Chains A and B, each alone.
Chain A
Amino acid sequence: MVYNISLYICLAIFIIGLVYKISRWFFLNVSADSKKTDASKRFPSAIKGIILTIFSAKFFVLVKVFFLDIIFQRKIFKENFFRWLTHMLIYGAFMLLLLMHALDNFITSSLFAEYSPTINPFLFLRDLFGALVIIGLCMALYRRFILKSPRLKTNSMDNYAIIILAIIMVSGLLLQSTKIGSWSIYSQMVEDYADSTDPEDIKPLTTLWVKDFGIVSPDIKAPFDTEIIEQGREIHEMSCASCHSRPQWAFVSYSVAKAIKGIALGLDKARIHTLFWYIHFLACFIGLAYLPFSKLFHIFSSPLSLLANSVMDKKESGPANIATRQALELDACTHCGACTSHCSVGIVFEEIQNPNILPSEKIQSLKRVVSKRELGEIGLRLILDGTYMCTNCHRCTDVCPAGINLEDLWFNVREDMFQGDYPEFSALSPLSFYRGLMRDAIPQDDYKRPLLQARESIAANCKLMKDQDKVAILTPVDKELQGSMLLSDQASTFSNCFGCQTCTNVCPVVANFDNPKEVLGLLPHQIMYSVGLGIKDLAFGSNMLWDCLTCYQCQEQCPQGVKVTDILYELKNLAIKNAYKD
């Protein structure tokens, strides 16, 4: 009763959840482009795309990906053998358990007429698969909590997945162990199947079962009479053997049953196996109901992402299908951390502690951005900063076992966030080179906007810069600026400047303009003066700072040994830091 009610409720939640999650792939907008298409276009376009792919040569690609990447998990295998083994144990053995044991009414019994869960090979295999899943779970715990790979993050969803699987496995194991020794179940079985229920008639069978089948009887104990055992064996062959193999084949449960033999009678009286049975099936059903909302949803979404990415490319696939795929990809992430462990800038997280730098955390944040959760200014800016702190080296995309095209995802979300209210200062660095290469994919106004926004937002704090004459009020030198320039090699050399303007004269950027002051605000030597005088507004506010090529001509040729380029680098760092403060 409880079993059926809870099964149907959980199954209903599971199906509703599945439909809800899948429908979101057609509604969620990951990029600005995807906003141009809606579900009414995306759904038919996806169906059309799937049909066209299946009836084309690409079908063979799908088959190949299905076997190599989904069943065999080639990508994890290449990335890290330990992780591959862990995942194969958990997923492979769990799938086998699901098919052979959980769905035995539908699958196993229709394939094998003789099927009974208590005979071999099923008795042995069930324990074997269970043991393999448990080993896999222990390996996962080891990786996440003992090995502690650098920058691998474990979140509540990762813990949930391990815990729910552990509960299912351990409760199943204990259920089996307590059933092996259970006197009450044995007595019930005898009542149901034996020809006689007279204790004296049954004694030989019971003796055999105590000796060979692990039953803990209240009165029968070793030593056993061989004759009685032989009599018992006859009854056993007649009434029990067709459904019961020896429990030793369930090697893990049997070991546990043996270990708890001393308290087996007490446990049996307390009907402990009923408790484990409830825990076992309820954990299974709760796991099922919550599956669409947990990271275990990747059982569906990751294979789909692998399949979709194997046959889609930027040029051929329409924007509607790309929009759907990107929404699906957000669900396909298993938070396994492969991307983070290969991330080119992952190490930066140790210095700039914004978790959004790490791709595995970035995608979690993107899920929140895309589902329009309230993140606040700080939250949004951290995500934008994190997404821009990326050299587009493509490694995350290459290693992702779910086949997610992370690089495209970063690019699209970044562009979308760029059109928001907050400046992104990292845009004023060579990190923008990749965006430059992609400029044809971005509308022209949208392309320039974040670059201007970042410059203007820094300059907005530098009031003196806006003053045409730049007349500074005579005040004592501001030592704060000079004191904060400690990072690079001999930044304090600015004080050696004697005003020869060589830096400005050799600067190729200055030389590029007829009226450089108008475009650049200040020239390199003027910036050196400003630092000498400690005038922050001038040191931070000019375009020159952001238009510096860092070609080191100025520094190389300075007769006074002023580290002009390094000072400009340092000023850029400080200007950005100050702009964040404001």
Chain B
Amino acid sequence: MKYSFFLGCNIPARLKQYEFSSRAVLGRLGVELVDITDFNCCGYPLRNIDFKASILSSARNLALAEKENLNMIVLCKCGFGMLKYADHLMKEDPSLKNEINTILKKEGLEFKEGVEIKHLLTVLYHDVGIDSIKEKITKPFSELKIATHYGCHALRPSEIVEFDDPVNPTLFDKLVEVTGAESIYWQLRLDCCGAPLFGSNDDLSMDLTEKKLSNAKESGADYLCDACAYCHMQFDTVQGMISNVRGGNHLLPAILYPQLLGLSLGIDGDTLGLGMNQIDITSIKGFLLE
């Protein structure tokens, strides 16, 4: 199993623990990662402004992966959704593909057949497999209740992203449960984290985040688990800002899925960057069975 490793813009700059923990976990599970330093922005943040520019950005990444003949692992769900969307359009619309390829050819790149775009979670679920992960779990969690946050751009539009059943997804829950934790049911689990509006309408964005966090907490969660750069910054950094701005006591720390899985695989907290989260999550180690 060999993939090109798409990190996007936020992870190397602001969320290194997601990269560190993913590398550690994927390495442990025998997935080989190839870094393509030339990868650029996935195009997601530009979609409001200029659709074609966003498709071009995505297409360049896909062409770079195709040049190396490697499928792609994406960590961020917004990036995953954008790349899948661009891939879909490039295949559906020959004139757009032509137009984009004319630009890409200037630097010797071309989107031909495209590559398979996978999210970290789909690689773990489909390619590594729940059973092989289970075999490697050395320190399962017990009595740990996790609110599993799916992330919009992985689930929808379902006919394009093909991640899981958009109405009743189970993939992420199963991945959480393989660590020994319980993935609880909560009403807002498929809703948006609020990140797309943070920075342009903070009040609304914070409303949505706060609602989700309260709902997860009321449903009995000890931690929220996510697997997306934007979702995690929202549930970690922005949650901290919400507490400062609005007060209240709805603190529900968020953990990245590879951090959760890594701990149950026996990888130490420093390698997984546990201390790099804004809200302290180190006490989650207390749920590990020795």
**How far is A426 from B199 in the complex, measured between Cα atoms in Å?**
11
Residue contact A549 to B194, C-beta cutoff 8 Å: yes
Contact with A along B204-227 (1 / 0, CB 8 A): 110110010000000000000000
CB within 8 Å of B: which A335-381 residues: 343-348, 350-352
B72-110 with Cβ < 8 A to chain A = 78, 85, 88-89, 92, 103, 106-107
Given contacts A352-B53, A429-B48, contact A547 B204 (CB under 8 A): yes
Q: Which of B6-14, B175-183, B260-268 lines the interface with chain A?
A: B6-14
Q: How far is the CA of A87 from the CA of B47 in the complex (A)?
A: 39
Contact A431 B238 (CB under 8 A): no
Q: How far is the CB of B21 from chain A (nearest CB, A)?
A: 20
Answer whether residue A555 sits at the interface, using C-beta atoms and an 8 A cutoff.
Answer: yes
Min C-beta distance of B114 to chain A, whole Å: 16
Assess whether A217 is interfacial by the CB under 8 Å rule: no
Within 8 Å CB of A391, what residues of B?
9-10, 41, 45
Q: Describe B's contact surface by its main secondary structure.
A: helix
CB-CB under 8 A from B197, the residues of chain A are 547, 549
Give the Cβ gap from B169 to chain A, nearest Cβ, in Å: 12
Residues of A within 8 Å of B196, CB to CB, are 430, 549-551
B103–A351 touching, CB < 8 Å = yes
In contact, A552 and B153 (Cβ under 8 angstroms): yes
Whole-angstrom distance between the alpha carbons of A345 and B50 in the complex?
12
Q: Which residues of A contact B107 (CB under 8 A)?
A: 150
Please measure, in the bound complex, the distance between the C-alpha atom of A391 and the C-alpha atom of B88, giving whole angstroms. 24
B281 on the A face (CB < 8 A): no
Q: Look across to chain B and name the residue whose beta carbon is closest to the beta carbon of A350.
A: B103
**A interface footprint on B1-21 (CB within 8 Å = 1, 0 otherwise):** 000000001101110000000
Residue among B40, B52, B106, B208 having the largest count of chain A Cβ atoms under 10 Å: B40
Nearest to A151 among chain B residues (CB) is B107
Specify the main secondary structure of chain A where it touches its partner.
helix
Question: How far apart are A446's CB and chain B's nearest CB, in angstroms?
Answer: 14
Within 8 Å of chain B (Cβ to Cβ): is A124? no
What residues on B are CB-neighbors of A345 within 8 Å? 40-41, 46, 57
Which residues of B lie under 8 Å from residue A512 when comparing CB positions? 204, 207-208, 211
Q: Are B45 and A429 in contact (CB under 8 A)?
A: yes
Residues on A facing B (Cβ under 8 Å) = 150, 343-348, 350-352, 389, 391-395, 425-437, 439-440, 451, 487-489, 508-509, 512, 546-547, 549-553, 555-556, 563, 565-566, 569-570, 572-573, 576
What are 16 pairs between A and B in contact, CB < 8 Å? A347-B40, A347-B57, A348-B41, A393-B13, A429-B46, A430-B200, A430-B230, A431-B45, A433-B199, A436-B200, A489-B160, A512-B207, A546-B201, A550-B152, A552-B157, A569-B47
| Interface positions of B (Cβ within 8 A of A) | 9-10, 12-14, 40-41, 44-53, 56-57, 60, 78, 85, 88-89, 92, 103, 106-107, 152-153, 155-158, 160, 166, 191-192, 194-202, 204-205, 207-208, 211, 230, 233, 237-238, 241
Please give 6 more A-B residue pairs, beta carbons under 8 A apart, in addition to A426-B48, A549-B192. A345-B40, A347-B60, A351-B53, A429-B48, A552-B153, A555-B156
